[in-house]
């Protein structure tokens, strides 16, 4: 059933809002996915707090234009077009979709938007290989904590040696 003009305008507005809020957007070609695989994909993305929408090219093109993201060429986006919007982490949509695409060869990453610029499929793959924000925070905490840990071990070692010396003196007097 064809959508009315009002429904199309609502879809365009929703896409424009999502594009405005998203830290990163990834475009996929989902042709060849079975219904169960598509449900599994949506479930994975929902767990990661990523919106996934199937969009018509014409409506997406209008939403991109309204969101002032005009360097995205619809010619670069082939096949059934799915759009993943990541709101929390710039890397997470690319990483999640890339992991899913490794298991399901039917899903193809065909591009994305990062820092309000279009990136091709290779750049999305490169983005997916970066550590996530949580992984970087863990590494930062470890780097901050490590010198203190080493200092405490040095102090504990000196104290331990001092106690061994006292114990040896005590044993020699008995």
Residue with tokens 């990062």: 114
- For domain 5-130, the question of CATH label 3.40.50.2300 is answered with no
Element (H, E) at 86: strand 81-86
What is d(CA 124, CA 137) in angstroms, rounded to the nearest whole number? 22
Please state the domain extents for the chain.
5-130, 132-174
* Under 8 Å between Cβ of 100 and 137: no
Around Cβ 122, how many Cβ atoms within 10 Å? 10
Q: What is the pLDDT along the chain (174 residues), one digit of tens a residue?
A: 677 888 888 988 999 899 888 889 999 998 888 899 999 999 989 998 899 999 888 888 888 888 888 777 777 777 788 999 999 888 889 999 999 999 988 899 998 988 888 888 898 999 888 887 788 888 888 888 888 877 777 777 777 888 888 888 888 887
């Amino acid at each position: 059933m064809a959508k009315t003009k009002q429904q199309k305008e609502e879809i365009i507005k929703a896409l424009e809002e999502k594009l405005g809020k998203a830290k990163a957007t990834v475009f996929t070609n989902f042709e060849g996915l079975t219904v169960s695989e598509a449900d599994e994909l949506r479930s994975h993305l929902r767990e990661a707090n990523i919106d996934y929408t199937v969009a018509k090219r014409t409506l997406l093109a209008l939403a991109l234009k309204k969101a002032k993201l005009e360097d995205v060429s619809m010619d670069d986006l082939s096949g059934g077009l799915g759009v993943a919007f990541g709101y929390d982490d710039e890397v997470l949509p690319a990483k999640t979709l890339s992991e899913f695409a490794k298991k399901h060869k039917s899903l193809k990453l065909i591009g994305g938007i990062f820092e309000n610029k279009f990136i091709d499929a290779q750049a999305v793959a490169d983005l997916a290989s970066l550590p996530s924000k949580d992984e970087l925070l863990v590494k930062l905490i470890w780097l901050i904590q490590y010198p203190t840990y080493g200092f405490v071990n040095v102090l504990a070692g000196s104290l331990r040696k001092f106690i061994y010396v006292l114990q040896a003196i005590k044993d020699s007097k008995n």
